[in-house]
Chains A and B, each alone.
Chain A
Amino acid sequence: MSRRFRSVAGWYLLLIVPLLGTIVFNVYPLIKTVIDSTLNMQGHFIGFTNYNIMFSDPEYHQSVGNTFYMGILSVIINIPLAFILANMLNSIPRGQNIFKVFLILPMITSIVTVAILFKFIFSPDPASMANYILSIFHIKPFSWFSDIKTSRESVVMMSVWKSIGFNVILFFAGLQTIPTELYEAAKIDGANERQRWLYITIPCIRNTFIFVYLTSCIAALKSFADVYAVSSEYGDPGGSLFTIMLYIFRKSFSTLFSKDTGLASAASVFLFLLILVITIINYLLTENSERVRSFFKIRRTGKKGALEE
C-alpha cells in the first residue's frame, strides 16, 4: 500500500463517523417517514391516500398559507434590517462588542420567555405597553396576538426581534473580511459613500447574503417554536398561527387532537420536498445567476452555443 493511498484512506475513514451519524439520524428517519406516509393507523399499506387526504384538507391549506405568509414577511424584514444594523455596527470605532452582546441576548433567550414577554407587551388590553405607545399617536388599540388580522404580523415581529442578532453577527463577520484597500482605492477614484456601499460592500459579502437568505428561508418554512409558544397546539386565533410544522406536531403527538401518524408523515415528506425545491431554486438564482441567465438565454434564443457566448 503506497504512502499516498494510506494517507487518503485515513481521511475517508475519519469521514465515516459524521457520515454514519447522518445515515442514522437523518437518512433512516427520512426513509421511515416516507414509508409511514403510505400506511394507515393499523400499519397497512394505503398508497398515496394520506397525501390525497392532506391535499384536500382545508386545515393543511391554511397551514401552508400561514407558513408562506409569515416566512416571506420574516425574510423581507429580517435580512435588510440585519444588514443595516451590521453596517452600523461596523461603522462605529469603539464598543462593538457591547452592541453585539445586546443583539445576541434575545437569540440566547428561551422562546418561551420571549413569548411571555411579548404576550405582555402585545396584550389586547387597551392599557398594554404596545397599545399605550399607539395611544400616544392617537392610534386605536390592537388585539395583536388575539386578532386574526394582526396575529401573524405580531408573531413575525417577535421572531425577528429574537433571531436578528444571529444574522447581524453573520453580516458583521462578512463586512470585516472586506479589505480596507478597496475602499481607499475607490475613495481616491472619487467614489462617494453610497457608491462604495453599492459597488464594494454588497458584492463583497454576496456569499454571506446567500447563506443568510437560504438559512432564513429554511427556518421560516420550519416555523414552529414561536407559534407554539404563543398559541400552543391550537394555532389560535382562528388558526391564523397554524403552520405546517404545527400541523405535523398536532397529527403526531397532540393529546388534544386525534393522532394520525400517516398524515403527519405525509406532511413531513411534503415539507422536506418543499424546502428542497425552494432551496435549489434559491441556490440557482443566487449562486449561479450567470449560468441561469445563460440557460434562459438558450431557451429564449434556441442557440446551442449561448452558454459559451
Chain B
Amino acid sequence: MSEKLIKSMVSKEHMRMKKVLAVLSGLTISASLVVGCSDANQSTSTTSTKSSGAKKVVRVAYQGVLDKDTIDPLSGMMYKGKDALIQLLKKKLPDIDVQITTVPNTDWIQKTETLIKNGDVDVAWYTNQVQAADWFYDDSELMKNDKDVNLNTINKIFIPAALAYVPYRSFDKPESTGQYYGLPIDMSNYMMTYDKQIFDDWGVQPPSQNATYDELLAKAKQVTGKNPKTGKQNYGMFLKSYWLEWHSIGFNATHSIKVDGMKLSNLNIKNDVDYMKDSPDVLNYFNYLKEAMELAPKGIASGAGAEKFFTKDNDIAINLDAGTASTLLQYTYANKKDITDRFKPIFMPLSKDGKQGFPEFHKVAIAKNASDKQAAWEVVKALTTDKEIVDFQISNYDTSGLPVLQDTSGMKVMDLPLNQQRQDYHSKSIFVTDDYWYWRQPLQSVLTDLLAGKLTPEQAQSEFYNRTKKWIDDKKKQLGGS
C-alpha cells in the first residue's frame, strides 16, 4: 500500500471521528439548552403547568409532603399525598392554582435554597433557619393591608409562644430583626419514653408523666442490671448527644435571653455567659449526664444501643432521647395497643421558671423573588390559619407536631387525649428566647466529648464556658464587633 493511500485512509478515519464527535457535542449542547433554557417556573417534580386559565399560579416547596398516598410501614397508617392537599387548597382558594414541589427531608436546606434562588418557587416550608432572611420576603407590608391576618389580629390567631418566634431574630443578621418571614403551621413537641414492662419485671413503680430529672435517675438506678424475670441485662437509661443540649433548660443550665436589636455587643455577658463558669446548675447538668451514662448501653457515644427500643426485646427502661416522641405518636395514632400499653411518654421536666424543650416551629413563607406576592400570601395564610388545612398537614406530614392555633376546636388531631395534654403542657412551657445558637453549638460539642469520655463534668463546665466565649468572640470578629 502506498504512503499516500495510508495517509488518505487515516485522514478519512479522522474526519469520520470528527463527525461523530461533532454530532455528540451538538446533542450535548442541545440537551444543555433544553434543560437550561426550559421554563424556570417548571420544576422537575412539579406536576402542573405554569398557568391554568386566568388563575394565578403559586408554587410551593414543601418538605415532608408525600408525592403519593402512602402506607406507613411502622404503624400501618395511610398518609395522603400532595394531590389531596392541592385539592383542599383548591377548595379554599378557588382563584389560585397551587402547585406543590415535594422536598425530601434529606438535605432539605440545599434543595429548598436551590429552588428559591432559581426562582422556581413562590412559597417555601422551613424551620428555625437563620438563612430565612436571605430566602424570604418580609410580610410586614402585606400584613398591614390584610383584614384577616394583621398585626392587630395575629395575637388572637396563634398561641403566644408561636407568636414570639414569628418576628425574625438572629445574631447573624441584626439588621433583619423584627421582620416577618412567614407564619407557623405547627410546632414540634419532644417527649421522653419509658418501658413499663421493665419496671413491672423489677417490681418498681414506673415514673410519672411529669417526673423530675432526679426521680428519673433514681428509678433508672433501680432497674439497671440483670432483669429478675428474664435474666437479661437491662439498662436504666439511654441518652445520645443528638438533641441532648435541650435538656439543659430543665436543669437551669441555660436560660432565655433578651437582646436589643440582636447586636452581640448588647448581650449581657455577665448574666448570659460568665455564669457558666461556676454555676452549680451547669455542673449538676453534666454530673447528671455522667451518672446517666453509667446506666446506659455501651454504644451511646455514637448514638447506638437503642436499636431494640419499641420492640419486645427492648432492654432500656428510660429513653432520654426526645426524638422517640415521633415514633410513639405514630403507634398511638395507629392504635397499636401492644406498643402503647408498654411504652409510655414522659414530658420534658421544667426549669425553675417553668420552661422546657426545643422551640421548633415549622413555617411557610413567601420567597424573596416570588412573582405574585399577594397570591403567595393568600397561600401562606391558608396553610397556616385554616384549621382544616392545618389539621390535614399535621395528620399526614408531621404526626408528632402540634397545632399552634389558639382555636383548635374541631381539629381531628386534638381528638387524641395525649395531644390535648401535650398541647396544654407545651404551649405554656415552651422555651422562648431571642437566640440560642451562642450556647447551643458549644454545648453540642461539649456533650459529644462528655459522652465519649473525653471530659469530666468539671472539664465539661469549663469547656462549655470557653467554647461559648470563643463562639461569641468569633462572631463579633465576623460582624465587625457589633
Contact = CB atoms under 8 A, between A and B. Distances in A.
A147 B303 CA distance: 11
Given A42-B173, A259-B131, A239 B445 contact: yes
B171 to A, nearest CB: 9
A236 B478 contact: no
Interface string A218-236: 0000000000001110111
Given A53-B478, A146-B299, A237-B301, A17 B25 contact: yes
Contacts of A11: 18
Nearest to B471: A258
B357 to A, nearest CB: 16
> Which one of B301, B302, B445, B478 has the greatest number of beta carbons of chain A within 10 Å?
B302
Contacts of B437: 258
B441 A40 contact: no
Contacts of A59: 445
B9 interface: no
Contact of B110 (A125, A232, A253): A253
Interface residues of B, number: 47
Interface stretch (A43-51, A168-176, A197-205, A279-287): A43-51
A143 B299 CA distance: 7
B411 interface: no
Interface in A227-263: 230-232, 234-240, 253-260, 262
Interface residues of A, number: 45
B302 A145 contact: yes
Nearest to A235: B448
Interface string A105-128: 000000000000001000111000
B478 A124 contact: no
B184 interface: no
A140 B37 CA distance: 62
Closest 5 interchain pairs by CB? A238-B452, A237-B301, A146-B299, A124-B298, A124-B299
Contact of B479 (A42, A124, A232, A237): A42
Interface in A2-20: 7, 10-11, 14, 17
A266 to B, nearest CB: 11
Contacts of B305: 124, 146
B478 A46 contact: yes
Given A40-B479, A41-B172, A123 B453 contact: no
B215 interface: no
Nearest to B450: A238
A204 B304 CA distance: 48
B301 A236 contact: yes
A236 B444 contact: no
A151 B302 contact: yes
B440 interface: yes
A146 B14 CA distance: 59
Contact of B474 (A7, A53, A236): A53
17 contacts: A10-B22, A14-B25, A40-B478, A40-B480, A46-B477, A52-B477, A119-B304, A125-B299, A145-B302, A146-B299, A236-B301, A236-B303, A238-B453, A238-B454, A239-B445, A255-B109, A258-B440
B448 A238 contact: yes
Given A10-B18, A52-B477, A258-B440, A41 B173 contact: yes
A123 B299 CA distance: 8
A239 B241 CA distance: 11
B28 A17 contact: yes
Contacts of B175: 42
B62 to A, nearest CB: 16
A11 to B, nearest CB: 7
Contacts, number: 125
Interface string A23-64: 000000000000000001110101001101100010100000
A148 interface: yes
Given A11-B18, A237-B452, A257 B304 contact: no
Contacts of B452: 148, 236-240
Nearest to A148: B452
A236 B172 contact: no
Contacts of A257: 441, 444
Contacts of B445: 59, 239
Contacts of A147: 301
Among A46, A123, A124, A151, residue most surrounded by chain B Cβ atoms (within 10 Å): A124
Interface in B87-133: 107-110, 127-131
A238 B453 CA distance: 8
A239 B129 CA distance: 24
Contacts of B25: 14, 17
B478 A232 contact: no
Contacts of A230: 302
Nearest to A236: B302
B112 to A, nearest CB: 10
Nearest to B174: A42
A262 B478 contact: yes
A235 to B, nearest CB: 8
A258 B451 contact: no
B168 to A, nearest CB: 13
Interface string A258-272: 111010000000000
B231 to A, nearest CB: 15
B365 to A, nearest CB: 16
Given A17-B28, A146-B298, A256-B444, A50 B454 contact: no
B142 interface: no
Contacts of B109: 253-255
A66 to B, nearest CB: 13
Given A145-B302, A145-B304, A253-B109, A50 B449 contact: no
Given A14-B22, A17-B25, A53-B474, A148 B173 contact: no
Given A14-B18, A253-B110, A239 B449 contact: yes
Nearest to B467: A58
B300 interface: yes
A41 B298 contact: no
A245 to B, nearest CB: 14
Contacts of B128: 255
